[in-house]
């Protein structure tokens, strides 16, 4: 199966998500948060740095729970900027 390349907007959304996770993590270590979410520290590192801009739903949900974030907060914070209809469709 060949994966379709990500659009610049999808990459930007992944970067926004990574920033949000880093901010929510605060002083907690990457290892601590990753363990609480049941993911590897490398997975969390890739998401936070934008190298994995489209994590699975279950990874997102687990990280949200571990960080005390709601899925609504994540969706709002990572939604496409105004005028970017390609991502909001």
What pLDDT shows up at residue 80?
Answer: 62
What pLDDT shows up at residue 86?
Answer: 47
Band of residue 81 on the pLDDT scale cut at 50, 70, 90: low
Mean predicted confidence (pLDDT) in 6-23: 92
Q: What is the pTM of this model?
A: 0.82
Helix (H, G, I), strand (E, B) or coil at 62: helix
For residues 27 and 9, give the distance between their C-alpha atoms in angstroms, rounded to a whole number. 29
Mean predicted confidence (pLDDT) in 10-23: 92
CATH code of the domain occupying 8-77: 1.10.260.40
For residues 53 and 12, give the distance between their C-alpha atoms in angstroms, rounded to a whole number. 8
Domain boundaries defined on the chain: 8-77
């Amino acid at each position: 199966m060949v994966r379709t390349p990500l659009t610049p907007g999808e990459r930007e959304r992944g970067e926004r998500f990574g920033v949000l996770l880093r901010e929510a993590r605060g002083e907690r270590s990457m290892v601590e948060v990753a363990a609480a979410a049941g993911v590897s520290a490398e997975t969390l590192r890739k998401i936070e740095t934008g190298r994995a801009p489209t994590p699975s739903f279950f990874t997102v949900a687990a990280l949200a729970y571990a960080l005390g974030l709601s899925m609504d907060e994540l969706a709002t914070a990572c939604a496409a900027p105004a005028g970017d209809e390609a991502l909001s469709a």
